[in-house]
A and B are shown apart, each in its own frame.
Chain A
Amino acid sequence: MTSKNTTPAAKNWTFKHMSKSAKTNLIFCVVLVLLVVITGLTSDVFLTERNMVNVSRQMVTTGFLSIGMYVVIRSGGIDLSVGPTLAFAGLLVSGLQGQVHISVAILVALSVGVIIGLINGILVAYMRLQPFIVTLAMMGVVRGALFIYSESPTYASDKFFLKTLGSGKVFDILPVPFVIFLVCIPIVWVFMNHTRAGRSIMAIGISPETVRLAGVNVKAKTTLAYVICGFFASLAGVLLAARLGISQPSVGTGYELDAIAAVVIGGGVLGGGGGSVGGMFGGVIALAVIDNILNLFNVQSYYQQIVKGLIILVAVLVRRKPS
């Protein structure tokens, strides 16, 4: 982002001169690193290759959901239906894999996310319904339908699907789903920062009317945000099905909350107007690392929920804007 004849405001890379949100991001990073170092010193398991690979594998699902959630939240909305969408995609891909080629199964599963996103988007943008209500209803409808159609778990058996996509590793160390996640992060960053649609979505989250009067098709762009979210939710579902080898209609319950948490920890503001792709990425890592640490120290899952809840509160408090 260098440009020749521009901004005279010289960038000062000292802590004092950073913007408040940049400071907060830096502090979060430092805290996270400290946490990793301290845990690494007290636990012999934490920094082992095996555990790190586990962490990277576990963050992928929340990660994909958070990418989509980030785009939707920037547009000023929210998507509560990502959990069932994920489950739907997983069931489809495992159910179809014996009958059609696996690539077709995956494509069908992904398009289901796109379609759910499209319906959400149309209801929000064109019918002017509230995102919270629309996606809450969608969450119920999809989840209910899944339970009706799939009474027992579905198992996947496709070799490519399980071995390569699910448990394959790049360079013998990085899980394939994690690598796909890592590739998606810069793509979304470019989308949000360097495309017309992305910049428009960002502005729509703050003032849709201003954007509409600047000649942008606000309805289409808002719908696009939900489509993107649905796509990433179904991608998460496909990869989760590949990793676990088993798909159930109940999978992904409550995952939307983790995704929202990751976005909010990264500076996102419900209703639009804050956050960054980098922040969201940091939020995903932070949640995954904290989960892992709590597991290693055998903290009961109920306590884990409390800790996670408190972390979200602290993150929001720290980022609070002075009134």
Chain B
Amino acid sequence: MKHIRLHKIAKAFGATLALKEVSFEAHRGQVVAICGENGAGKSTLMSLLSGSQQPTLGSIEIDDQKTFILSPHKAFDLGIRTVYQELSLLPELSVAENLYLGEWPIKRVAGVIECIDWDQLFRDAEADLAHMGICDINVRDAVGSYPVALQQMIEIAKASRVSPEVLILDEPTGVLTQTESDVLFRLIETLKSRGTIVFYISHRLEEVLDIADTFVVLKDGVSVDTFSREEASKDRLIRSMVGRPLEDIFPKRGTAGTETLLSVTGLKAAPKVADVSFELKRGEILGFCGLVGSGRSEVMRAIFGADPMDQGTIVMDGAAFNAPSPARAMAAGIGFVTEERKVDGLVLDADVIDNAGLASMDLVGWGPFLNRSAQRDMVFQKVQELDLRPLNLAYILRRMSGGNQQKVVLAKWLLMKGLKVLILDEPTRGVDIATKVEIYKLIANLAQTGIGILLISSEMPEVLGLAHRINVMRDGKIVAELDPVTTSEHDIFVAAADVERPKNDL
């Protein structure tokens, strides 16, 4: 495939226009970044390219030939592979089986019986992974035994195994650490050199600026801006995405209090948390950095009582509470925005009231009964404050964008009675940039009212921009306490990975 050209593509779902007019072209060996806020039409555009939807108007031309990608099957035949945000691997099967799903090598036993040639399969899979620079995976293990980040790598490996003509990556680094992302970027380089066109969707602007050759910015279903690597800058990206310049993404840091709100001493929770002690002041934003698997989330889960803890003392506002359970942690005033909102943050098939009201039922209760209209009023007020769009309480969460879903999760904890400490684990993952800015402002404002914030994020600029102090974790321990004002991303990385890396590698 030499090039692919999209000409005045529009896509309507009923009366709503998901895409109005999108035109751009991509050439062999290019990485094309598709940028835009949530709801700008990125996913729709990708579904057109991957054949799961057809454009209402306009045409897709491949090598100057008008092409109709009528089905995912057809896309597959054209050499178009897609890696979705949601993993499509079968966790019980081995890595090798997943890589070659549907194409398992066959050998004949006794001349007639067709069996899977396991040796061949494992050999091929091992060779493929080695070829792609993914080394710490045993192809015989079940996919489900690996952490999500590695599963994501396997998923990408599966799609790029045959050097596809077009590879579509939807938020591929969402769950990856810097090291893993680096492996991915090298993989993309290899594919590029073999002539693959890579469509790359990501919220991480820094990353996109690093690897893309061309940029397409979508806004309200229109490709408002296309430019090359030479013309690209973060400023231009943000300006075309949001439609206004974002002078300052992070709000001014307020001053933290001096009074200790939460103190954790000698916390141990096998297997991920070895020994963690820290103090959180009133109104302080305390950042937690570390690679995936360093135990950041597990510390928070233990404090909140989501997982059992083995040892340690947790003192909240002068009162110790040990052997915590979620209910006890909440009674002490702790709220917890978890890392995976779709798994344990939301009741996806329920509406806004049931979700946002889940942690505050005691506020609108009378004995065992719920005052549903009071609950509705309370929720409405909070989500209105958070600027939920659409402001419709009957909306089912599954159909909402990531940013709006996150607002509902935040509303749930902000409504909780007596909130004193809010734990935020990856609060802006999968959230569009405009909502990110709103969430940053919210975090800063909450801290100003005296609430203590424990902030985990894999996006280092986020922690650097918001936190008063940064704890860096490695192997279940806090290995460094850094001052964000004088710290660089590089410093955090060095502390987190315990390796010195040349600066130009970041």
Contact = CB atoms under 8 A, between A and B. Distances in A.
Interface in B478-497: none
Contacts of B336: 213
A206 B350 contact: yes
Contact of A209 (B304, B344, B358, B362): B344
A234 B410 CA distance: 43
Contact of A196 (B361, B373, B392): B361
Interface stretch (B28-36, B70-78, B237-245, B363-371): B363-371
A193 B372 contact: yes
Interface stretch (A4-12, A64-72, A312-320): A4-12
A199 interface: yes
Contact of A7 (B327, B331, B347, B380): B380
A216 B343 CA distance: 16
B419 interface: no
Given A3-B373, A210-B344, A199 B361 contact: yes
A301 interface: no
B87 interface: no
A202 B373 contact: no
B326 A214 contact: yes
Interface in A242-285: 273-274
Nearest to A19: B394
A212 B391 CA distance: 27
A274 B373 contact: no
Interface of B: 304, 306, 325-327, 329-331, 336, 338, 343-350, 354, 358-359, 361-362, 365, 368-370, 372-373, 376-377, 380, 390-394, 412
A273 B306 CA distance: 24
Chain A contact residues, majority secondary structure: loop
B338 A213 contact: yes
Contact of A194 (B372, B376, B412): B372
A22 to B, nearest CB: 11
Contacts of B347: 203, 206-207, 210-211
Interface of A: 1-9, 190, 193-197, 199-200, 202-203, 206-207, 209-217, 273-274
B429 to A, nearest CB: 16
Contact of A215 (B330, B345, B354): B330
Contact of A9 (B327, B361, B370, B394): B394
Contacts of B344: 207, 209-210, 212-213
B372 A210 contact: no
A135 to B, nearest CB: 24
Q: Point out which of B370, B372, B390, B393 has the most chain A C-beta atoms below 10 A from its C-beta.
A: B370
Contacts of A200: 361
Contacts of B391: 8-9
A212 B412 CA distance: 14
B359 A6 contact: no
Contacts of B304: 213
B372 A214 contact: no
Contacts of A213: 304, 306, 326, 336, 338, 344-345
What are the 6 A-B residue pairs with the smallest beta carbon separation, nearest first?
Answer: A209-B344, A215-B327, A3-B373, A273-B349, A215-B330, A214-B358
A2 B373 contact: yes
Contacts, number: 96
B358 A203 contact: yes
Nearest to B390: A9
B375 to A, nearest CB: 9
Given A3-B376, A196-B361, A202 B354 contact: yes
B456 to A, nearest CB: 15
A2 B354 CA distance: 17
B386 to A, nearest CB: 16
A6 B377 contact: yes
Given A6-B380, A213-B344, A202 B350 contact: yes
Contacts of B368: 195-197
A111 to B, nearest CB: 21
A108 B338 CA distance: 46
Contacts of B349: 206, 273-274
A167 B240 CA distance: 76
8 contacts: A195-B369, A196-B361, A203-B350, A207-B347, A213-B306, A214-B359, A215-B329, A215-B331
- Which of B338, B344, B390 counts the most chain A CB atoms within 10 A? B344
B373 A211 contact: no
B392 A7 contact: yes
A273 B346 CA distance: 13
B370 A194 contact: yes
Nearest to A274: B349
Contacts of B325: 215
B376 A6 contact: yes
Contact of B393 (A7, A190, A216): A7
Contact of A211 (B330, B358, B392): B358
Contact of B354 (A3, A203, A209): A203
A213 B391 CA distance: 25
Given A6-B377, A206-B349, A194 B369 contact: yes
Nearest to B358: A214
Nearest to A209: B344
Given A6-B376, A9-B392, A9-B394, A209 B326 contact: no
A211 to B, nearest CB: 7
A210 B326 contact: no
Nearest to B392: A9
B370 A196 contact: yes
B412 A214 contact: yes
A274 to B, nearest CB: 7
Contacts of A4: 377
Nearest to A198: B370
B325 to A, nearest CB: 8
Contacts of A216: 327, 358
B377 A3 contact: yes
A9 B351 CA distance: 14
B238 to A, nearest CB: 31
Contacts of A210: 343-347, 358
A4 B380 CA distance: 11
Nearest to B306: A213
Given A213-B344, A215-B331, 20 more contacts: A3-B377, A5-B380, A6-B373, A6-B377, A7-B393, A190-B369, A194-B372, A196-B365, A202-B354, A206-B347, A206-B348, A206-B350, A210-B343, A211-B347, A212-B326, A213-B338, A214-B326, A215-B327, A216-B327, A217-B327
Given A2-B373, A203-B354, A273-B349, A209 B343 contact: yes
